[in-house]
Amino acid sequence: MKGRLIGALWIIIALAIFYFGLNGEWFPFFFCLCLMMCLAEISAISDLKPYQVKPSACKPHDAWRFEYTIVYFAAIFCILLKKEELLLIIIVCSLSDTGAFTFGKLFGKHKAWFTSAISPNKTIEGYIGGIVFTLLAIPVCFLLKIAITPALIIYFLLGGFAAEIGDLLGSATKRQLQVKDSGDGIRNMPVFKLIEYPIRGHGGYLDRMDSISLNIVLFTIIMVPWK
């Protein structure tokens, strides 16, 4: 728990420096770097860890390939986004995660049978809470001076769901590659020893970015045609 809190503090400090300290200009590039680290993690564990797909225990098949593709496109798309848009996506994913955890703990009584093969502890109440909490990000648009458009409303309706799907895809990826911590493979590579400490206690960069990656892709697909 201590390592996880320290790792979270590192991430918050880094986000604050790149968003506020550098006037937000390098914020998308910083996030692109984090997403590239996710790609490195997936590549490392898929090369170094033997894996075996077990259809009865993990669906969809080859989840790690889908995850790699999504993160790859997210790394490209995030450079096209404004810093305010990227911050909104992060807030949406954070609210979804908070809502899912809170509702799951307080009201979770019905197991989500449709995702039990990937994450057996998820509940239907948790999924509902994640989607509901996402709507709390709408007032943030006024603070970030992001115009409320029909396309943005569509994104809000789908963003919470996408965040939870992204989290599940990250879980499926690690189960198929038979690892609990996606950072293990990359931490064992000498070239990445310097960045090992900030993610100690976490599941790796993939755990921080799986929901955000899918939301970046979703946001870009929905919003770019309206720009």
Tens digits of residue pLDDT in 24-81? 778 888 888 888 877 877 777 666 544 444 444 444 456 777 888 898 999 999 888 8
Check: CB of residue 198 under 8 Å from CB of residue 11: yes
222 confidence band (pLDDT: 50, 70, 90): very high
Structural domain including 171 reads: 2-226
> pLDDT digits over 140-167, tens only?
888 888 888 889 989 988 988 888 888 8
pLDDT band at 203 (very low <50, low <70, confident <90, very high): low
Tell whether omega for the bond before 60 is within 30 degrees of 0, i.e. cis.
Answer: yes
Tell me, letter by letter, the H, E, C secondary structure of the chain: CHHHHHHHHHHHHHHHHHHHHCCCCCHHHHHHHHHHHHHHHHHHHHHHCCCCCCCCCCCCCCHHHHHHHHHHHHHHHHHHCCHHHHHHHHHHHHHHHHHHHHHHHHHCCCECHHHCCCCCCCEHHHHHHHHHHHHHHCCHHHHCCCCCCHHHHHHHHHHHHHHHHHHHHHHHHHHHCCCCCCHHHHHCCHHHHHHCHHHCCCCCHHHHHHHHHHHHHHHHHHHHHHC
Tally of structural domains, the chain: 1
* pTM of this structure: 0.79
Dump pLDDT digits (tens) for 87-137: 899 889 888 888 887 888 777 677 766 666 677 677 888 888 888 888 888
pLDDT at 188: 56
